[in-house]
């Protein structure tokens, strides 16, 4: 049997914001056997790879190499020769000061098939997030990108600083923080005006983004005083002046807010992406873990007798996924749902159903158990048989409410919600004053599990704002000794984000 031929995809990961990763990059990651990645690659981008994919770190920071460039090239060749599909994930764009061409050349010389997937370069994205267009009619019609990594004063430098000093367009310097004082001194020496506007942007496109502005004469001193370090992008030119009117990212209500995400690890990614889109900085500390139910006989019997039910009602996306996963294991598909009315307690649950080709017949206006019951009071469900696939720790409010309306209900556990192993010392450190702005709770179990091991005194000393997705979660938080500051009007992730924004707008 012939060996599988391997292939390498040189993929640009973009400047940091995982939302700027390209669709082609996502497609490549989905098919990867191995991901070889650099420093500063966002973990949410790595999440696009299959769980079984091997992940190999080969990054460097501040000139300190974890793995040498020749070793990286040899690694890519070796993996591809072994029949692996390899994604070589590089920050920004692979070919813009990223040494991707060296890796491509090594692959070509070895006869390895490869593709290059361009990425959004920090040279243009970072200034844009700081409110600086790199070109602007009347101010700058050209853009020059150079590396500031090499000592600009060394003999034989390939960069003509004397010519750059005389150009009228925008100059963007990548990897230049270490030599900023030398670069600015050299540009001044060769005639660039001391009043030329300059911006230094650290952690561009991320919630930790920080920008200082000045002039060519004073920017190095201001950057040193502010303690700015790499990674940072330096922008030199009149376009920097436009930042006063074009700032947008830093104006988000949640910009820079550190938000503790307590959802299960497999679910946290979506919420983290949503937070990042609104300028917040998510901090993951999962307080629950979703596990398959062990005793499946009740669930299996219900699936085998779906034709006996009138309604199939889901209260969470987890319930949808667990139920359909078990259906698949039993070699049963959606045809078994013929004739059933499908209920979903909210839009996220409905979207989870859509992924299986199912459209919910009924979604209550208020996405809670009470809302589900209230909208059913006018429906004729007396004598109707309901199947509720839910968590093993779900309360009986919905079940009892349906029974009071005359329905017959089978409340079946389809997944366990447990407390995962956790680093209590890390949690206590996170909860110290000043480390977090918000603690976000998306269920009662995230509250109780997070607080296990904390003393009453430690709970009372929590200064971060407490945000809850719904009244039940809020009630649990209050009962546990927490002051609830933010409560979502709509019990969805988007509703919770909206409530956070509204709260911080009032505080501004």
CB 468 within 8 A of CB 497: no
Give the chain's length.
508
CB 345 within 8 A of CB 491: no
Selecting among 29, 90, 175, 437, the annotated active-site residue is 175
Phi, psi (degrees; rounded to nearest 5) at 54: -80, 140
Structural Rg of the chain based on CA atoms: 27
- At residue 54's C-alpha, the angle toward residues 49 and 57, to 5°, is 95
483 has catalytic annotation = no
Classify strands 465-468 and 438-441 as parallel, antiparallel or unpaired.
parallel
**How many other CB atoms sit within 10 Å of the CB of residue 290?**
20
CB 290 within 8 A of CB 417: yes
Exposure letters 96-131 (e unless 16+ CB within 10 A, then b): bbbebeebbebbeebebebebbbbbbbbbbbbbbbb
162 has catalytic annotation = no
Separation of alpha carbons 234 and 173, rounded Å: 5
60 has catalytic annotation = yes
Cα distances from 329 to residues 16, 293, 326, 416, 479, in angstroms, run: 39, 13, 5, 18, 40
Q: Please, which residues bridge with residue 439 across strands?
A: 260, 466
**Positive/negative CA dihedral, 440, 204, 56, 89:** positive
* Among candidate residues 231, 241, 23, the one with its CA nearest the CA of residue 138: 241
Separation of alpha carbons 494 and 140, rounded Å: 40
Separation of alpha carbons 463 and 496, rounded Å: 19
Selecting among 7, 17, 29, 38, the annotated active-site residue is 38
Separation of alpha carbons 67 and 333, rounded Å: 48
**Cβ neighbours of residue 211 closer than 8 Å, sequence gap 6 or more:** 130, 199, 200, 201, 202, 243, 250
DSSP secondary structure of 187-225: HHHTT--TT-EEEEEESTTSTT-EEEEEETTTHHHHHHH
What SS3 string covers 291-314?
EECCCCHHHHHHHHCHHHCCEEEE
* Among candidate residues 200, 244, 196, 192, the one with its CA nearest the CA of residue 221: 200
Selecting among 60, 222, 296, 298, the annotated active-site residue is 60
Per-state percent for the chain, helix, strand, coil, to nearest 5: 35, 20, 40
Residue positions annotated with a catalytic role: 38, 60, 175
């Amino acid at each position: 049997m012939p060996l599988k031929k391997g292939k390498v995809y040189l993929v640009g990961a973009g400047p940091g914001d995982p939302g700027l990763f390209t669709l082609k990059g996502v497609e490549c990651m989905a098919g990867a056997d191995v991901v070889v990645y650099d420093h500063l690659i966002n973990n949410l981008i790595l999440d696009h790879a299959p769980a079984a994919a091997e992940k190999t770190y080969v990054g460097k920071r501040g000139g300190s190499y974890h793995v040498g460039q020749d070793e990286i090239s040899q690694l890519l060749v070796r993996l591809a020769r072994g029949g692996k599909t390899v994604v070589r994930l590089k920050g920004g764009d692979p070919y813009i000061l990223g040494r991707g061409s060296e890796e491509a050349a090594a692959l070509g010389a070895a006869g390895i098939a490869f593709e290059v997937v361009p990425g959004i370069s920090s040279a243009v994205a970072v200034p844009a997030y700081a409110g600086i267009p790199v070109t602007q009619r009347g101010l700058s019609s050209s853009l020059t990108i150079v590396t500031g990594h090499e000592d600009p004063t060394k003999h034989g430098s390939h960069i003509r600083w004397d010519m750059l000093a005389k150009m009228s367009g925008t100059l963007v310097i990548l990897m230049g923080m270490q030599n900023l004082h030398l670069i600015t001194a050299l540009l001044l020496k060769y005639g660039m005006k001391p009043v030329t506007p300059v911006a230094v942007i650290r952690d561009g496109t991320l919630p930790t983004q920080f920008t200082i502005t000045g002039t060519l004469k004073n920017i190095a001193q201001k950057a040193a005083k502010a303690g700015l370090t790499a990674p940072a992008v330096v922008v030199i030119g009149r376009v920097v002046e436009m930042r006063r009117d074009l700032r947008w990212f830093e104006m988000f209500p949640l910009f820079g807010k550190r938000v503790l995400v307590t959802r299960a690890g497999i679910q946290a990614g979506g919420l983290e992406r949503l937070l990042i889109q609104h300028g917040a900085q998510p901090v993951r500390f999962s307080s629950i873990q979703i596990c398959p139910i062990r005793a499946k006989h009740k669930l299996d019997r219900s699936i085998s007798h779906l034709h006996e039910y009138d309604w199939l009602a889901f209260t969470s996306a987890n319930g949808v996924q667990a139920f359909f996963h078990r259906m698949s294991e039993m070699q049963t598909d959606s045809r078994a749902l013929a004739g059933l009315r499908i209920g979903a307690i909210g839009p996220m649950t409905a979207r989870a159903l859509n992924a299986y080709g199912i459209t919910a017949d009924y979604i209550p206006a208020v996405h809670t158990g009470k809302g589900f019951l209230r909208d059913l009071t006018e429906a004729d469900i007396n004598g109707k048989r309901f199947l509720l696939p839910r968590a093993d720790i779900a309360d009986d409010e919905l079940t009892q409410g349906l029974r009071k309306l005359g329905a017959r209900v089978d409340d079946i556990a389809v997944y366990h919600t447990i407390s995962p192993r956790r680093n209590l010392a890390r949690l206590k450190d996170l909860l110290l004053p000043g480390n977090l702005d918000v603690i976000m709770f998306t269920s009662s179990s995230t509250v109780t599990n997070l607080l296990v091991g904390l003393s009453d005194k430690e709970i009372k000393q929590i200064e971060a704002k407490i945000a809850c997705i719904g009244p039940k979660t809020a009630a649990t938080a209050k009962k546990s000794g927490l002051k609830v500051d933010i409560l979502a009007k709509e019990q969805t992730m988007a509703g919770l984000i909206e409530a956070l924004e509204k709260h911080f707008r009032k505080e501004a």
